[in-house]
Amino acid sequence: MSEEPYRQLTDQLRPAPGGCQIQSATAGWQVGTLGATVLWDNQVVGISNAHVLIEASSIVYQPDIVRLDLQLNPRIGLVGGVSIETTYDSWDDLISRESATYSMWDFGWFTPDPPDPEDPEDPGPRTTPAIAGIYNGDEPLHVRNAEEGMHVRWIGASTQTVGEYIIKDSDVVMVGTDAKGKVFGLHNFLRLMPVEGKPRAQKGDSGSALVDDDNFVVGLLTTVPPDAPFDLGTKIPPTQADISAVKEMTRDEVHYERVMERDRQAVIKAILAKAQEAKSSTCIVM
């Protein structure tokens, strides 16, 4: 496995490997990372975060739709489905409830476009099962469930260098605010501790595949909490039928505490300690 930077991951690549930059047609200016082209639910699909792919039937572009110097049509596929967030009007609205609904994943998939046999200039397959710097095979990797203690590798379109994590928790609750100011809750998430000396994720790395030592894809990188010593990832739903799964959680099951910008790092550490002591789920407010 090479750990040299892959500076071309923001360029147009055909076939597109895991780790390269993608953009959904409905994402505005936002870009993310193609995690991998995998065998999931008995079909070969490209996978990334729901907040990267945005919505079903959206066109997926690689590297994006806005660049003017591209040699090929940037379209590589069509979104098949994404997990959906349950939102609340405000933070107070969420914590005032006896129970709240938390989505289980930040996951979406797309079907790669097939080559056009009638076009002599067609570039061939739109994606490849390979993941830059991690996996060079021709067969799509399989998916399995993430577990605490796993060592995983990842590469994203922004960082462009192979990173490594140890999965410390696999049942983290995250509360955040979307682009419209709505508050949402996510359950079942992964706390990812970077291996010393390895890169931290950056904006644009969302959707990067988490690959274990047996070359199974066990999750996707989701977000980098500011000033926190860890990153967060999502598990992968077993099938399409599970993608809309949610969990109803009461106030007794979740430790709520708002994290302010001025003391974010100290409060996050306190949240983790309190949640461990109370044996409740961890809540991190983004």
Q: In the prediction, which pLDDT does 75 show? A: 95
**Within a domain: residue 1?**
no
* Domains: count for the chain: 1
Alpha helices in the chain (DSSP H): 50-53, 91-95, 264-278
Tens-place pLDDT, residues 55-86: 999 999 999 998 877 888 899 999 999 998 88
Helix (H) or strand (E) holding 253, with range, is: none
Q: Determine the average pLDDT of the residues in 86-92.
A: 86
Residue 120 in this model has a pLDDT that exceeds 80: yes
C-alpha distance from residue 237 to each of 144, 221, 251 (Å): 9, 14, 25
pLDDT at 258: 52
Residue with tokens 């291996």: 195
The answer to whether residue 253 scores a pLDDT higher than 80 is no
- Domain containing 30 — which CATH number? 2.40.10.10
Q: What does the pLDDT read at residue 267?
A: 55
pLDDT tens-digit readout, 2-52: 445 555 899 999 999 999 999 999 988 899 999 999 999 999 999 999 999
Task: Identify residue 35 by its one-letter amino acid code.
Answer: G
Whole-angstrom distance, CA of residue 145 vs CA of residue 268: 26
Question: What does the pLDDT read at residue 255?
Answer: 61
2 in any annotated domain: no
Is the pLDDT at 284 greater than 70, yes or no? no
Query: Which domain, by its residues, includes 148?
Result: 7-285
Please give the backbone phi and psi of residue 28, each rounded to the nearest 5 degrees, phi first: 65, -130
Does the pLDDT value for residue 159 go beyond 80?
A: yes
Please tell me the predicted confidence (pLDDT) of residue 279: 53
CA distance 195 to 231: 11
In a domain, 253, yes or no: yes
User: Do 176 and 186 contact (CB within 8 A), yes or no?
Assistant: yes
pLDDT of residue 52: 96
- On whether residue 25 sits in a domain, the answer given is yes
In a domain, 273, yes or no: yes
Q: Is the dihedral of CA 40, 43, 49, 55 positive or negative?
A: negative
Is 63 inside a domain boundary?
yes
| Residue 154 located in a structural domain | yes
Exposure class string for 129-159: b at 16+ Cβ within 10 A, else e:
bbbbbbbeeeebbebeebeeebebbbbbbbb
Global pTM reads 0.89
